Copies of this chain bind each other. A is one copy, B any other.
């Protein structure tokens, strides 16, 4: 499972260097960086402004986009992956820069990518403020089938807004999460950008699915399911802040699936007893590839794209505000008073910690 490793690889390899090079700047103070669970770098300038910055690509979903010659979706994803990470810190996204590595510049492909980026930007209320196109064909896989080969990476900047009283919003890192808190889930739109190496292997190498086949239990084709753009949760989370909800934790369910709950700072455990029914595309991936539930739940979002952890008292209002914002939000479970940052899914007997789920009987 390639994607499982991606998340931790940066930390494993770079951590010694990050620690060696201490940030000795009189301009900034880091509020993240060395904390491994953070979704973005958070820093405070000497002027008092607090900023968050992140970088993320789209990964091998691009290969599906190439095969289908439909590029808008990965443009949206490039924005989504970055802003959905940024908002987990409490920051509001401001701008995004994009980097495209490609073997050649083909107008209609670039046009579709640009359209996707700008659709994503509108949904995320950010500006695409610049970027770079690098023609590095010799570094990219041969472009079979006539479409250019490319990679697409974004980097986004956000800021912590000042309240009317002039105070700065606290950085959200999950340290306020407490036993009894409620875990509210927001539906995903397909796989988002995660698990595509495993999905492609399961569907097309081990299994015999085709892009045009109908996904059993759905009215959609495989390609439509796989190219569903990643849902952008900026407006939903903004609505919470605007209505005075103070989220204890904000969790983008990206690579690692619901195990991402364990990235929050509080040393507690999570019981998820009301997960959504497995969406049909995951049943097909699981059946085609003969993949066990532990790997499925450690790789894919399984229908939940984003989690908000709030106090029990604020749970009903949180649900109402999210529903008003157009999200079909539901309570997935609750925070329990046990150390270890385990994620427990009783209906499936799955117990997870770190990067793995295991069957617990």
Of the residues B57, B63, B118, B162, contact of A99 by C-beta under 8 Å: B57
Chain B residues near A141 (CB, 8 Å)? 138-142
Asked if A6 and B134 sit within 8 Å, CB to CB, the answer is yes
> What is the minimal beta-carbon distance from A261 to any residue of chain B, in angstroms?
21
Q: Is A288 an interface residue (CB 8 A)?
A: no
Complex Cα–Cα for A14 and B41 (A)? 27
A47 at the interface (CB under 8 A from B): yes
- Report whether B28 and A94 are in contact in the complex, using a CB–CB cutoff of 8 Å: yes
**CA A33 to CA B122, docked complex, whole Å:** 17
Residues 285 to 339 of chain A near chain B (Cβ within 8 Å): none
Interface: A155 (CB within 8 A): yes
Q: Does A151 contact B (CB under 8 A)?
A: yes
Contact, CB under 8 Å: B63 / A159? no
Which residues of chain B are within 8 angstroms of A28 by Cβ–Cβ distance?
A: 94-95, 127
Stoichiometry, as copies per complex, reads 2
Interface residues of A in 40-70 (CB under 8 A from B): 40-41, 43, 45-49, 51, 53-57, 59-60, 62-63
Q: Is there contact, CB below 8 Å, between B27 and A128? A: no
Given A136-B151, A141-B142, A153-B153: A131 in contact with B10 (beta carbons within 8 A): yes
B-facing residues in A169-190 (Cβ within 8 Å): none
Q: Does A277 contact B (CB under 8 A)?
A: no
Q: Chain B interface: which of A109-117, A222-230, A263-271, A349-357? A: A109-117
Q: By the criterion CB–CB under 8 Å, are A27 and B57 in contact?
A: no
**A interface with B by C-beta (< 8 Å):** 2-3, 5-6, 9-10, 13-14, 16-18, 20-21, 23, 25, 27-28, 30, 32-33, 38, 40-41, 43, 45-49, 51, 53-57, 59-60, 62-63, 92, 94-95, 97-99, 101, 105, 107, 110-111, 114-115, 117-118, 121-122, 125, 127-136, 138-142, 149-151, 153, 155, 157, 159, 161-162, 197
> Would you list 22 pairs from A and B whose C-beta atoms are within 8 A, ordered by A residue?
A5-B135, A6-B133, A10-B131, A13-B110, A17-B115, A17-B117, A17-B128, A25-B127, A28-B94, A41-B97, A45-B94, A53-B130, A55-B132, A55-B155, A57-B99, A57-B101, A59-B134, A138-B141, A139-B151, A140-B140, A140-B141, A141-B141
